[in-house]
Amino acid sequence: MSMAPGAAHGGKRRRRRGRRGGAINEINMTPFIDVVLVLLIIFMVAAPMMTVGVPLDLPQSKASPLNSDVKPITLSIRQTGQIFLGEDELNDDSIVPKLLAQAKNGTEDRVFVRGDKRVDYGRVAQVMAIVTGGGFRHVALVTEPDH
């Protein structure tokens, strides 16, 4: 007595149900993750380049960094004595008006002075005197941490 295929189930053959041509209900996350990781790498590389537009060789110091939630206004002094607010070059007479125009809290805003380490100390002192003479009381020098 031989049994024909499917005879054990009452003589009916079972059909396999396959998903031929059906819609896939899953979202492929791999391309999304790839794009996010590429963007993360781009921003990690670009972030240090977006600090201040004027390249300077800052002096080194063992002073601890200041903790401040508010972004300060930054003046940069090149080796030649040129003064920059962001990437805009200023002359001595326009420093205070430009600072006041950019300050959100008036003269209570913090002003950072970044001076190249080869600039004349007298020039840095002169710029700081102009800034404090304009009413700004929170003026600080920026240095790089000493290794």
Quick check: helix, strand or coil at residue 132? Answer: helix
Question: Does some domain include residue 32?
Answer: no
* Average pLDDT over every residue of 13-20: 57
In sequence order, the 6+-apart residues with CB closer than 8 A to the CB of 105 are none
Question: Does some domain include residue 20?
Answer: no
- pTM over cut 0.85: no
DSSP for 31-66, please give it.
HHHHHHHHHHHHHHHHGGGGS-SS---PPEE-PPPP
Instruction: Give the pLDDT band (50/70/90) at residue 37.
Output: very high
Which residues, listed in sequence order, are joined to residue 83 by a DSSP beta bridge? 77, 90
97-147 confidence digits (pLDDT tens): 998 888 888 888 888 888 888 888 888 889 989 998 889 888 888 877 766
Neighbours of 3 (CB within 10 A): 7
Question: Does some domain include residue 50?
Answer: no
Question: Does some domain include residue 64?
Answer: yes
How many structural domains comprise the chain?
1
Question: CATH code at 90?
Answer: 3.30.420.270
Look up the domain containing 106 and give its range. Answer: 55-145
40-76 confidence digits (pLDDT tens): 999 888 876 665 556 666 666 666 665 555 678 888 9
> How large is the angle between the packed helices 121-133 and 95-102, nearest 10 degrees?
60
Question: Does some domain include residue 104?
Answer: yes
Question: Does some domain include residue 118?
Answer: yes
Question: Does some domain include residue 70?
Answer: yes
- Asked whether the beta carbons of 55 and 139 are under 8 A apart, the reply is no
- Considering the chain, what is the average pLDDT of its residues? 78
Question: Does some domain include residue 73?
Answer: yes
